């Protein structure tokens, strides 16, 4: 694939929240720059969605295409990769209703994820935190983070104990929202 660049690589052409993916938060050679980010074409030499986009309307997001919803988007995906596909159609709807507002909400989720990774990652929670932040509502995440500020003191707890408490709070929020924090393989 030729070089592919986008103005906002944190929310992909196909509707994934790239900035909530564990590969986006990796420091090693497998780090992904997000959809159309720097050297994206080297990390993802073939992308069927980009190829399709070039054949059709060459839009920033699939929901802007004249063929949307095409066969790929008529039904929600039942499999996930590094990031959950469960919310793609819902996220497209939010972005379509107001892209600036969607980006603002995504940026808030990114900040929450970065805080979780910085303070409460025991070396085994990155994937869990990425999936949780992607799937939970922003309001639910804000409630969790308010509780984290009150109930989880990173100075008083070792990293493993803090991660355990934060995980329990995220799972409790997921139960209230009737979602399961896991990837579907």
Dihedral of alpha carbons 31, 91, 148, 160, sign:
negative
| CA nearest to 16, candidates 68, 89, 121 | 89
Predicted confidence at residue 30, as pLDDT, reads 87
Q: Enumerate residue ranges in the chain where pLDDT < 70.
A: 1
Cβ–Cβ < 8 Å for 17, 10: yes
pTM, whole model, 2 decimals? 0.92
The 10s digit of each residue's pLDDT in 2-47 is 788 898 999 999 999 999 999 999 988 889 999 999 988 888 888 8
- Residue 170, both tokens: 């995220």
Predicted confidence at residue 99, as pLDDT, reads 93
Predicted confidence at residue 1, as pLDDT, reads 64
Predicted confidence at residue 78, as pLDDT, reads 85
Predicted confidence at residue 41, as pLDDT, reads 86
Q: What angle do CA 76, 24, 185 make, to 5 degrees?
A: 40
């Amino acid at each position: 694939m030729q070089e592919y660049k986008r103005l906002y690589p944190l929310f992909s052409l196909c509707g994934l929240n790239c900035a909530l993916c564990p590969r986006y938060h990796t420091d090693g050679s497998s780090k992904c720059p997000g959809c159309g980010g720097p050297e994206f074409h080297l990390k993802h030499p073939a992308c069927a969605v980009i190829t399709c986009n070039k054949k059709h309307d060459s839009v920033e997001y699939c929901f802007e295409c004249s063929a949307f919803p095409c066969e790929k988007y008529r039904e929600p995906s039942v499999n996930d990769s590094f990031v959950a596909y469960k919310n793609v159609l819902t996220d497209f709807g939010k972005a379509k209703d107001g892209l600036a507002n969607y980006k603002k909400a995504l940026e808030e989720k990114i900040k929450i994820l970065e805080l979780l990774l910085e303070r409460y990652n025991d070396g085994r929670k990155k994937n869990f935190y990425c999936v949780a932040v992607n799937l939970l509502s922003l309001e639910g995440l804000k409630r969790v983070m308010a509780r984290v500020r009150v109930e989880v003191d990173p100075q008083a707890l070792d990293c493993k104990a803090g991660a355990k408490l934060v995980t329990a709070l995220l799972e409790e929020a997921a139960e209230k929202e009737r979602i399961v924090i896991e990837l579907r393989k």
